[in-house]
Amino acid sequence: MKILFYGSAGEEKEYLENKIKELNITIDAIFLPEALKAGVIPPASDAEILSVFVDSVVNRETIQGMPNLKCIVTRSTGFDHIDLAAARERNIVVSNVPSYGENTVAEYAFALLLTLSRKVHLAYDRIRETGSFSQQGLEGFDLAGKTLGVLGTGRIGRHAIKMGKGFGMEVVGYDPYPNQELAGSLGFTYVSLDELLAKSDVLTIHIPYMKATHHLLNEAAFGKVKKGAYLINTSRGAVVDTDAMVRALQSGILGGAGLDVLEEEGIVKDELGFLVHGHPNAENLKIALENHILVDLPNVVVTPHNAFNTKEARQRILNTTLHDVAGFIAGTPKNIVEQHE
């Protein structure tokens, strides 16, 4: 069975080739380094399986130009770059990578929190810029005994809960669809959003961006936050009203913020694009940040949407992709996207 891997080169191509041999998947793999552009008919148009990243476009014209195509595997969670209607008309199976970075993102959230709680960034800058080993002004605070408020208790949120418990923190959670069995097994309590804001010493956001969550943390919400709380956002920038957050930081309502995402990014389709190709809006964000008060605040740490960026996360993406391929060949397709719509 012939498969085309678009957008695959270098170390990734080598990893896939070795893994295909290791898993003993009987396929004729063709690797193309570029993304698949809309309407392009691949040179090996007789391929039965097509694998792409989120930066490729698999539209009706491409699908119609591949008469033997039976399966499309996207190496991403998102799949809006694929014409699902055209695929269904041909009974083409479409599979994705439902998840690949739950613990990865939660770990990064705590990396931001620990940077702020122990003023690691300030200590590092002091030694690097002045050579001073003075500890003056670098007093931090313990996480043990503090209350962690987790907004969103899905795949990433539950890892954050486990980590918070590991640090000896009390944990409260907010989710529009509370899972009481999860709360019992992990030892945390569900509360209303208002109660979570009022109780939490640290707020960490792990909810998706959608119309209902746009500016969920706005001026009114920050008015309910426990004074001096720290905000960690590795989710989506637009969940937080930036202007309201800046005012909360300046007034002392927030003690600090660790931000891996910014509202200026717009709506991000999938982190995988960042992992593979870098940030598409890097220059615009640089200009925005240069004029942004956030970068001048000593109690704020900003990073470039980097929470997903680990070697293991990349490998999980590729491993899941090959398991999707193997499953389809065996007649038991996995991670069919209709199950995730």
Mean pLDDT, the chain, whole residue set: 90
- The mean pLDDT of 213-237, rounded to a whole number, is 96
Regarding whether 147 and 65 lie in a shared domain, the answer is: no
Query: Which listed residue (12, 263, 265, 271) is catalytic?
Result: 265
CATH number at residue 179: 3.40.50.720
Same domain, 108 and 83: no
**Residue 263 bears catalytic tag:** no
Do 78 and 148 fall into the same domain?
no
Higher pLDDT: 296 or 164? It is 164
Structure tokens that stand for 253 in this block: 């309502």
pLDDT tens column, 70-81: 999 999 887 888
Whether 295 and 268 map to the same domain: the answer is: yes
Amino acid at 330: A
237 and 150 part of one domain: yes
pLDDT category, 340, cuts 50, 70, 90? Answer: very low
Q: Which is more confident, 37 or 338?
A: 37
Task: Residue 142: name the closest of 123, 169, 162, 124 by CA.
Answer: 169
Q: Does 96 share its domain with 106?
A: no
What span, in angstroms and rounded, lies between the C-alpha atoms of 92 and 84? Answer: 9
| Per-residue model confidence (pLDDT) at position 79 | 85
Mean pLDDT computed over 278-287: 55
> Count of alpha carbons within 13 Å of 182, Cβ hemisphere only?
19
265 is catalytic: yes
What is the predicted pLDDT for the residue at 266?
Answer: 54
Task: Give residue 123's pLDDT.
Answer: 94
Return the DSSP state at 315.
Answer: H
Looking at the structure, do residues 49 and 115 belong to the same domain, yes or no?
no
> Which of 81, 305, 314, 323 is flagged as catalytic?
305
Tokens matching residue 175: 């989710």
Residue among 303, 206, 313 nearest 261 (CA): 303
Question: CA distances (Å), 240 to each of 33, 162, 235, 248, in order?
Answer: 37, 24, 10, 12
- Is the same domain home to 330 and 234? no
Domain count, the chain: 2
Predicted confidence at residue 339, as pLDDT, reads 43
Q: What is the pLDDT of residues 36-54, one digit of tens each?
A: 999 999 999 999 999 998 8
Provide the pLDDT confidence category of residue 287 given band limits of 50, 70 and 90.
very low
Segment 119-145 mean pLDDT:
94
Give the pair of three-digit tokens for residue 222: 């920050």
What is the full DSSP assignment across 193-252?
HHHHHHH-SEEEE----SGGGTTSB-HHHHTTSPTTEEEEE-S-GGGB-HHHHHHHHHHT
Is 314 tagged catalytic? no
| 25 and 134 fall within a common domain | no
pLDDT at 136 over 90: yes
Q: What is the DSSP letter of 23?
A: T
SS3 for 78? coil
The predicted model scores a pTM of 0.81
11 and 147 in one domain? no
Res 100 pLDDT > 90: no
Give the tens place of pLDDT for each residue, 6-26.
999 999 999 999 999 999 999
Confidence of residue 305 (pLDDT cuts 50, 70, 90): confident
Give yes or no: residues 23 and 113 share one domain.
no
Is the pLDDT at 273 greater than 80? The verdict is no
- Quote the CA–CA distance of 174 and 245 in Å, as a whole number: 20
Q: What is the mean pLDDT of residues 327-340?
A: 86
- Domain span at 11: 2-100+311-340
320 and 298 inside one domain: no
Lowest mean pLDDT among 8-17, 24-33, 76-85, 180-189: 76-85
Asked if residue 162 has pLDDT above 80, the reply is yes
Q: Which of 236, 263, 314, 323 is catalytic?
A: 236
